[in-house]
Amino acid sequence: MFKFGRKRRLCSAFETMRPDLYRIAWSWCHDDAQAEDLVQDTCVKALEKLDQLRNPERLRPWVLRIMANLHRDRYRGRRDIVTLSAHDEELAATDPGPAEAAERNATVVMVHRAIASLGDDQRKVLTLVDVGGFSYAEVAEALEIPIGTVMSRLSRARVRLRRELMAEKEEITGLRCVK
């Protein structure tokens, strides 16, 4: 009974996860088409390898591991791409309206650039934790690295991210504490 319903359940769970997966994939690629392909291929691969999922409660890190491996294999050796995506160009070109909205759009584009400039290892850990909301244990399981490595990559990524953001624009609203 479990076997027959398993694929359907995975599809259902996958559909629930898809928006988060897409955002994570997008934060790795900063490209709409690449992110969509990555998520779609992850879905196909997950269905193919479903028998290997021993504990259904570990679905999230398991699917992430598939996506991370696909991304690594596909873009291995390629330099990290640091470009404005179509989405960012759209944001930058959008009639900014109130100054607050313009500033927000500029900050979003700036964060995308800063994340894109990180090394792949640091970027993956940072985006899985901050964009995907995954726990350290889940990230460790997904990327097949020790939790200590997750923590050290994360702290280094944030230090570098702060430096990149500071360098690009010192006066970002909200980056500094008032107190």
Would you state the structure tokens that stand for residue 66, as one six-digit string? 């598939």
Q: What is the CA radius of gyration of the chain?
A: 18
DSSP calls for the chain: -HHHHHHHHHHHHHHHHHHHHHHHHHHHH--HHHHHHHHHHHHHHHHHTGGG---GGGHHHHHHHHHHHHHHHHHTTPPPP----HHHHHHHHS---SHHHHHHHHHHHHHHHHHHTS-HHHHHHHHHHHTS---HHHHHHHHT--HHHHHHHHHHHHHHHHHHHHHH-TT-TTTS---
Nearer Cβ to another protein (16/74) = 16
Measured from the CB atom, is 80 or 130 closer to another protein? 130
Binding residues for another protein, rule: CB under 8 A, are 7-8, 11-12, 15-16, 18-19, 22-23, 26-27, 32, 36, 40, 43-44, 47, 87, 107-108, 111-112, 115, 126-127, 129-131, 133, 135-136, 151-152, 154-156, 158-159, 161-162, 165, 174-179
CB of 62 to another protein, least distance (A): 18
Nearer to another protein, 1 or 77 (CB): 1
Closest approach, Cβ 107 to another protein, in A, equals 7
Cα–Cα dist 39/14, whole Å: 10
Q: In the complex, what is the shortest distance from the CB of residue 144 to another protein, in angstroms, rounded to a whole number? A: 19
Minimum Å gap between C-beta 66 and another protein is 15
Q: Which is nearer to another protein, 69 or 135 (CB)?
A: 135
For another protein, the closer of residues 77 and 151 by Cβ is 151
Shortest Å, Cβ 71 to another protein = 16
